[in-house]
Structure 1
Amino acid sequence: MLMEPGQLRLLALIERHGSLAAAATALGVTAAAVTQQVARAERACGAPLVRRGPRGASLTVAGALLATHGHGIDRHTREAGTGLAALLGELSLRLRIGAFQAAALRLLPPALTALRHRHADADLSVVDITSDQGMPAVAAGELDLAVIAAWDEPPVPPEHVTLHPLLADPMVVVLPDDHPLASAGGALDLARLRDEAWVTIIAGHAARAQFDRATAAAGFTPKVRFQTASYDVAQALVGTGIGVALVSRLALSATPGTVHRELTERGLHRRLYAATLTDASLTPLVGAFLALLHDVAGDITGKA
């Protein structure tokens, strides 16, 4: 004989409240529905379980035995409901964000400020990540939203993760401030820098691959003097006068001894995305923050 958990819980509620009507109220169903459930339970176990009387209902010996197990089920049911309500309340205020350095410096601050004004009780956290860490962290539930960058083709998100395009971040050339081209007007052709020493991103990175393709299209093989994983380091080295570098506009840091110039080449940029779970309904601040990121991205693009 296999009793259903719901039947055991029903008997516990009848014992606790002393009537079918009160048990029905506790379950949020009609008294007729409870009567039918009791009848099905009695047929299933082949014994009377509930005595009906003018003052309510009581359990038979068999019903009382089963109700002892039903009380545990009812307790776990109530604890599950309470725990879920607490979790949903917590998730409704939580927002865990990951972003690479340039995005954390340029995109996040105005969006976070606006979010704090609208949701003063928000439980916010921000972690510094590399772009390749963002989507896996969202997929694993470690982050609610990650701002990442990609060169050329957009990355393929894991299952249940969605990429939201934010903006294109164009590459600019950073020159020593005493360079002959530092004060020239207008955008520069990459070919005019064919004889320069270059500070580049480390070989093997997507940014370096894009740079190598661009210089090849401009008709030269660059003389790479230094390689680094950091745009900040690249700009610091340019400031010493030892070379020039391509740096994304968002990563410009006004390093002493440097100036930057726009490029005539099209397509030299990285694209920024926000990665979220496809269904982020349990964390409503994700949608609110995503909208703010789009607003900030629009402002940045408009000023470019």
Structure 2
Amino acid sequence: MDADLDLRKLRYFLAVAEHLHFGRAATELRIAQPVLSRQIRALERELGTQLLHRNQRHTALTAAGEQLRADGTVLLARANALRRRVLDTARGGARTFRLGFMPGLTVTAEVRALREANPGLEVEVVRTGWDDQTEMIRDGRVDASYVRLPLDPRDLALEPLFDEPRVVVVPADHRLAGKQRVSIHDLADEHLLQDPEAVPEWRDVAAEMRAGERLPERSVRTVEEKLEYVAAGRGVVVLPLSTALFYSRPDVRHSVIADIGPNRVCVAWAADSHSDLVRQLTAIAHRLHPEPPTDDR
């Protein structure tokens, strides 16, 4: 028999799927562990399938559990976004517009243009990062955002704006410091201070040239943290040129990576959004976005 998916039970399941530990998930959810266990079992009965392999020492997702985690994360985010839009409407319409932006990008002109075109509108800006730029759109924390590819485009609408070169940032005393252009092959032996999936060209070259060697897994969260590690000689980072220029400092240098593709900047929003403000933003963005930055050294 078909059953509706209970979003509360889904939220409980996603907490367990994240921690793979009922005790830690129960603490995060602020419920008793036996209650959480009963809710997960009830969800499994409703869906008619096992979601978790569990015993006293180990919890793991089944194949069905992996699928529910992937799709359920997006579903719950969309439900939260829907709730925010309904509440905005109940309060008299969306008089607050939340605009996200990635490091190295500025949205001042867009904010001013939106406010001038919509008297009384409050525009809030929210800094995002590689790990949450899409999540913030899906769960409604921002109404639209300036994003950088690559990203997971599920349930998102994307409007491309411009491309810009990618650069490697190295310590000021590094062997590559001062070079205007380098090759991705020059970086194969370097320690990358970010998720290799964000720089698949480096991942592929490094995997080929370092066959059998485990690639570094260090992933530092913010640009500021990454540059601190770079300056200390702990590794290198690949950034869009505008980000490297925005966070310029004397103890690091950057060089354009000549043989990999550029970074693409887009405006993104929820695909099911019908906001007129989003349509206004995309028109304004095309009118105001700057020319791709160049390296004039």
TM-score by length of 1: 0.54
Match of 1:301 among 278, 292, 295: 292
Partner of 2:15: none
- 1:265-295 Cα distance to aligned partner (Å, 9 max, x none): 122x4433322244655x3222222222234
State the 1:183 CA deviation.
2.5
2:184–2:260 CA contact under 8 A, matched in 1: no
> Which one has a bigger Cα radius of gyration?
1
C-alpha distance in 1 between matches for 2:161 and 2:131: 17
SS at match of 2:269: strand
Q: What does residue range 87-126 of structure 1 map to in structure 2 within 5 Å?
A: 87=89, 90-91=92-93, 93-100=95-102, 102=103, 105-126=104-125
C-alpha distance in 1 between matches for 2:140 and 2:266: 18
* Percent identity for Structure 1 against Structure 2: 20
C-alpha distance in 2 between matches for 1:224 and 1:131: 18
1:200–1:208 CA contact under 8 A, matched in 2: no
Match of 2:278 among 259, 275, 286: 286
The 1:88–1:276 alpha-carbon spacing in structure 2 relative to 1, beyond 3 Å, is farther
C-alpha distance in 2 between matches for 1:139 and 1:224: 30
Partner of 1:174: 169
2:115–2:122 CA contact under 8 A, matched in 1: no
SS at match of 2:224: helix
2:184–2:202 CA contact under 8 A, matched in 1: no
C-alpha distance in 2 between matches for 1:179 and 1:131: 26
TM-score by length of 2: 0.55
State the 1:262 CA deviation.
0.5
SS at match of 2:254: strand
State the 1:147 CA deviation.
2.9
The size of the alignment, in residue pairs, is: 205
SS at match of 1:235: helix
Matched residue type, 1:113: R
2:192–2:235 CA contact under 8 A, matched in 1: yes
Partner of 2:183: 189
The 1:111–1:214 alpha-carbon spacing in structure 2 relative to 1, beyond 3 Å, is farther
**2:212 is the alignment partner of 1:215:** no
C-alpha distance in 1 between matches for 2:127 and 2:187: 34
C-alpha distance in 1 between matches for 2:142 and 2:237: 33
Matched residue type, 1:207: A
State the 1:132 CA deviation.
5.6
Matched residue type, 2:144: L
- 5+ residue gaps, structure 1: 1-83
Partner of 2:159: 164
Partner of 2:194: 201
Match of 2:255 among 243, 261, 277: 261
The 1:138–1:106 alpha-carbon spacing in structure 2 relative to 1, beyond 3 Å, is closer
SS at match of 1:286: helix
The 1:98–1:192 alpha-carbon spacing in structure 2 relative to 1, beyond 3 Å, is closer
The 1:193–1:146 alpha-carbon spacing in structure 2 relative to 1, beyond 3 Å, is closer
State the 1:124 CA deviation.
1.4
The 1:192–1:138 alpha-carbon spacing in structure 2 relative to 1, beyond 3 Å, is closer
Partner of 2:45: none
Matched residue type, 1:155: D
Match of 1:276 among 247, 253, 269: 269
State the 1:172 CA deviation.
0.6
SS at match of 2:282: helix
C-alpha distance in 2 between matches for 1:182 and 1:242: 15
The 1:180–1:139 alpha-carbon spacing in structure 2 relative to 1, beyond 3 Å, is closer
Matched residue type, 1:187: R
SS at match of 1:288: helix
The 1:89–1:288 alpha-carbon spacing in structure 2 relative to 1, beyond 3 Å, is farther
- 1:157-188 Cα distance to aligned partner (Å, 9 max, x none): 22xx422223334321112223343233x411
1:182–1:260 CA contact under 8 A, matched in 2: yes
The 1:178–1:288 alpha-carbon spacing in structure 2 relative to 1, beyond 3 Å, is same
